[in-house]
């Protein structure tokens, strides 16, 4: 107990030995294996399967899955470190790993019975990508106004409807799908189902052509009388809203991690470039105006990182973290936008062209304020918590 107290009193950014080793391994991987592909992945709007396989080999696709199911049996904080380090190089790869861990695996671990865990966690730990399908055309911020319907039919539910904006839609083989069994019951009708790619009546539709995180696939899902066995209901019928809310509360910390990674990556590029680029006979990093801008960006990244790590550590400690998660998501996404924007400015004309890495990060940053609850919705959560 005494030891635990000391551990919790550590500075937030001091990593345990296993965390530091893990972070360094992911950083090394991101630099060596992801960085050379970033531009091509953005151009072709695709993450190659070979890279996804490498992510499985690295052990970042099943971070919290217990070893008994083939996972790493590590903590949520480890997932945050992985998402941060990958996003430092490519936020598209960061979000692929984020959705797998903080949403899909997280929900299955928390709400899955033994049968679901045995059938799906083992696959998610070995080679199968997951996706999390809540949003629809008419149901974004109003997340439980779902039109996708699941009707009971003997030992099955029959799902009909369309999901929009689903990350990992192209890569995934396992989809966590939220549908209502009774629209009149409002949120109390929402039920979560595990649906496999290839099942009759389920197709992955068009992929969105996006401003940023272009390599991350964002797809429509179409369900036409798709029969899903009752054994694939995740948690209780009518309690899907609870699993959705709880996983998204945690998922938000993952988006915070993606955004601090992005901001740190943009800052790295900026430091390197401003030391090299000469104007008026000296490196532009020697001008005090530039130094102050870089110092401010470093300050922003540090502050945002502290909120992300704090929320993640609170979650792992089993303490309330709702407000902290919302704060970390807003702050990190705003910081990512600011720092990436500064990077473009300080790269000058080179900041505006694809040959240099920062215009992509500037485009990528925007999504942090939109998905997994827009900034307005996060502010609403914070206000509700503090105003009562």
Ligand X SMILES: Cc1cc2nc3c(=O)[nH]c(=O)nc-3n(C[C@H](O)[C@H](O)[C@H](O)COP(=O)(O)OP(=O)(O)OC[C@H]3O[C@@H](n4cnc5c(N)ncnc54)[C@H](O)[C@@H]3O)c2cc1C
Q: 172-180 and 190-196 as β-strands: parallel, antiparallel, unpaired?
A: antiparallel
- 249 vs 274 by CB, closer to ligand X: 249
| Spatial CB neighbours of 360, under 8 Å, sequence gap ≥ 6 | 38, 39, 42, 212, 354
Q: How far is the CB of 135 from ligand X (least distance, A)?
A: 3
Segment lying near ligand X (by CB under 6 A), choices 7-15, 127-135, 254-262, 299-307: 127-135
Mark out the alpha helices in the chain (DSSP H runs).
2-8, 17-29, 38-44, 49-58, 76-89, 91-98, 106-111, 114-116, 122-126, 240-276, 288-316, 322-346, 358-365, 375-387
Point out which span in 27-35, 59-67, 182-190, 373-381 binds ligand X (CB under 6 A): 373-381
| Site membership for ligand X, residue 218 (CB under 6 A) | yes
Q: Mask: binding to ligand X, 92-121, rule CB under 6 A, as x and -?
A: -------x----------------------
Pairing state of beta strands 129-133 and 172-180? parallel
Identified binder of ligand X from the candidate list 66, 73, 140, 201, rule CB under 6 A: 140
Q: Does the protein bind ligand X through residue 133 (CB under 6 A)?
A: yes
Residues 216 and 42: their CA atoms lie apart, in Å, by 9
Nearer to ligand X, 91 or 351 (CB): 91
**Would you say 203 or 350 has its CB closer to ligand X?**
203
Residue 364's Cβ-count burial label (10 Å; 0-12, 13-18, 19+) is buried
Query: Rounded to whole angstroms, how far apart are CA atoms 338 and 272?
Result: 18
- The region of 23-31, 259-267, 338-346, 367-375 touching ligand X under the rule CB under 6 A is 367-375
Q: Does 128 bind ligand X (CB under 6 A)?
A: no
134, 260, 325, 331: which one binds ligand X (CB under 6 A): 134
Number of residues binding to ligand X, judged by CB under 6 A: 20
Least distance from ligand X to the Cβ atom of residue 89, Å? 19
Decide: helix, strand or coil at residue 217: coil
CB of 238 to ligand X, least distance (A): 19
Rounded distance, CA 331 to CA 239, Å? Answer: 31
Which residues make Cβ contacts (< 8 Å) with residue 182, sequence separation at least 6? Answer: 188, 189, 238
- Distance in Å, CB of 83 to ligand X, minimum: 14
Cα distance between residue 139 and residue 157, in whole Å? 21
User: Taking the complex as a whole, how short is the minimal distance between the CB of residue 44 and ligand X, in angstroms?
Assistant: 17
**Residue with smallest beta-carbon separation from ligand X:** 140
What is the residue-wise DSSP string for 27-51?
HHHIIIIIGGGHHHHHHHT---HHH
> Per-residue string for binding with ligand X, 165-194, x by CB under 6 A?
xxx---------------------------
Distance, in Å, from the CA atom of 11 to the CA atom of 104, rounded to the nearest integer, reads 30
Least Å distance between CB 323 and ligand X? 17
Counting contacts by CB under 6 A, is residue 370 touching ligand X?
A: yes
Piece of the chain touching ligand X by CB under 6 A; list 15-23, 81-89, 162-170, 358-366: 162-170
> What's the rounded Cα separation, in Å, for the pair 253 and 82?
12
The CA angle 253-78-133, to the nearest 5 degrees, is 50
Task: Name the residues annotated as catalytic.
Answer: 372
User: Please, what is the minimum distance in Å from the beta carbon of residue 127 to ligand X?
Assistant: 20
Interacting residue ranges for ligand X, rule: CB under 6 A: 99, 132-135, 140-141, 165-167, 210, 218, 367, 370-374, 376-377
């Amino acid at each position: 107990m005494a030891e635990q107290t000391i551990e919790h009193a550590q500075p937030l950014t001091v990593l345990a030995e296993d965390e530091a080793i893990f972070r360094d391994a992911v950083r090394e991987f991101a630099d060596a294996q992801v960085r050379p592909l970033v531009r091509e992945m953005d151009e072709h709007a695709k993450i190659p399967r070979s890279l996804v396989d490498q992510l499985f080999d690295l052990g970042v696709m099943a971070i919290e899955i217990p070893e008994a199911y083939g996972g790493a049996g590590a903590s949520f904080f480890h997932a945050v470190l992985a998402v941060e380090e990958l996003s430092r190089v490519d936020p598209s790869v960061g979000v692929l790993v984020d959705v797998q861990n903080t949403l899909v695996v997280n929900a299955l671990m928390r709400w899955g019975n033994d049968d679901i865990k045995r059938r799906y966690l083992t696959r998610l730990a070995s080679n199968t990508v997951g996706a999390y399908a809540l949003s629809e055309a008419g149901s974004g911020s109003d997340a439980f106004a779902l039109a996708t319907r699941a009707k009971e039919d003997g030992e099955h539910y029959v799902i009909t409807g369309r999901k929009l904006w689903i990350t990992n839609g192209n890569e995934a083989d396992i989809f966590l799908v939220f549908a209502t069994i009774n629209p009149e019951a409002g949120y109390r009708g929402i039920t979560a189902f595990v649906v496999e790619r290839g099942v009759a009546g389920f197709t992955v539709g068009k992929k969105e052509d996006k401003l940023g995180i272009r390599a991350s696939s964002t797809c429509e899902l179409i369900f036409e009388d798709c029969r899903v066995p009752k054994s694939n209901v995740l948690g209780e019928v009518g309690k899907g809203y609870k699993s959705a809310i709880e996983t998204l509360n945690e998922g938000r910390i993952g988006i915070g991690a993606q955004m601090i990674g992005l901001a740190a990556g943009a800052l790295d590029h900026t430091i390197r470039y401003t030391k090299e680029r000469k104007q008026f006979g000296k490196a532009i990093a020697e001008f005090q105006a530039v130094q102050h801008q870089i110092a401010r960006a470093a300050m922003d990244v540090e502050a945002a990182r502290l909120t992300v790590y704090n929320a993640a550590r609170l979650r792992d400690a089993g303490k309330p973290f709702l407000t902290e998660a919302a704060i970390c998501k807003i702050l990190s996404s705003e910081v990512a936008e600011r720092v990436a924007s500064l990077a473009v400015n300080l790269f000058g004309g080179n900041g505006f062209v694809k040959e240099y890495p920062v215009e992509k990060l500037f485009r990528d940053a925007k999504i942090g304020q939109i998905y997994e609850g827009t900034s307005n919705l996060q502010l609403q959560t914070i206000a509700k918590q503090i105003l009562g």
